[in-house]
Amino acid sequence: MQYSWFNRNLRWIYVLPALLFVLLMMVVPVLYTVRLSLFEWSMSAVSPPVFVGFANYAALFRDQRFWDATVNTFYFTIVALAIEVALGLAVALLLNRKFKGKNIAKTVMLLPMVATPVAMGMVWMLMYEPSIGAANMLLKAIGLEPQLFLASMTQVIPSLILVDVWQWTPMVSLILLAGLSTLPTDPYESADVDGANAWQKFIHITLPLLMPTIIIATMLRLIDVLKTYDIIYATTQGGPNLKSETLNIYGYVLGFQYFKFGYASALLVVFFLIVLALTLLLIMFRNRTRDAL
């Protein structure tokens, strides 16, 4: 009798540890953050949490700094993601060809991903230094005017985007390269018989067949780019004049500099819902694309 019950529920027993881990490490913190967002609390021993309901959310949507951080977040995310996917696809198509030193090229491509983001942020901060940085030395060498980069209110986010693109484009390339290696060869052989050129084969065969993989790579990078914190905090901490402050940075400032834990939790709940909504949209688009193939 006991063996029969165990055998019938074996599939649930095997996944139970993973489910408990997810519940403990993800669901419980999210629920606690939602609960904390309904309170006003400065983590003071003399002032316990005070229930304020949705007052933190109401104040958040009236906060101009929140909207500025939202704009900065989406500006950074959209531009970085578009460049990484386009450049990653180009690199994947190049590495999918046969040429000497292909394995060496793959190894070199992985190097930016090996270092920690904070370390890379410090290195790029030195490279962007206006007076002695390598970036301005290179500009001077080719006859261009030196730039302020991270110290400029208009150049700071593009400069940070370049760092993110340099570090994470290889990951997109690897995902797309894996997708390219699984594509069937029959459509290409038929296209060769019909006299199609390389561009026509890319547009009408490679791109449609690779689209589910492109969406997966986009979804993975979207989640990461939206949550980018370490590179920005290590280089600018949201400056100059809050021009590079994203929602993650603002949430950290509210919680650990201003000690407004309820207000910071409300911001993080809204941020979580934004990430979740965009992820679900990409999943729906991927399912429709896969069904259309």
| The pLDDT value given to residue 3 | 59
With respect to residue 83, please indicate whether it lies within any of the assigned structural domains: yes
With respect to residue 71, please indicate whether it lies within any of the assigned structural domains: yes
**Residue 43 DSSP one-character state:** -
Q: What is the pTM of this model?
A: 0.90
Nearest residue to 225 (alpha-carbon basis) of 246, 255, 253, 239: 246
Residue 13, judged by CB atoms within 10 A of its CB (0-12, 13-18, 19+), counts as: exposed
Nearest residue to 202 (alpha-carbon basis) of 100, 81, 94: 94
With respect to residue 51, please indicate whether it lies within any of the assigned structural domains: no
CATH number at 69 reads: 1.10.3720.10
Q: How many residues does the chain have?
A: 293
| The pLDDT value given to residue 1 | 47
First vs last C-alpha separation in the chain? 47
Report the number of distinct structural domains present in the chain: 1
With respect to residue 40, please indicate whether it lies within any of the assigned structural domains: no
Q: Supply the range of the domain harboring residue 273.
A: 63-292
With respect to residue 175, please indicate whether it lies within any of the assigned structural domains: yes
Tell the residue number behind the tokens 């060498």, with chain if given. 141
With respect to residue 30, please indicate whether it lies within any of the assigned structural domains: no
With respect to residue 44, please indicate whether it lies within any of the assigned structural domains: no
| The pLDDT value given to residue 293 | 61
| The pLDDT value given to residue 106 | 81
The pLDDT averaged over each successive group of 10 residues in the chain (293 residues) is 67 83 86 93 77 94 96 96 96 87 81 84 91 91 91 94 94 92 88 88 91 91 91 92 94 92 95 92 83 65
With respect to residue 254, please indicate whether it lies within any of the assigned structural domains: yes
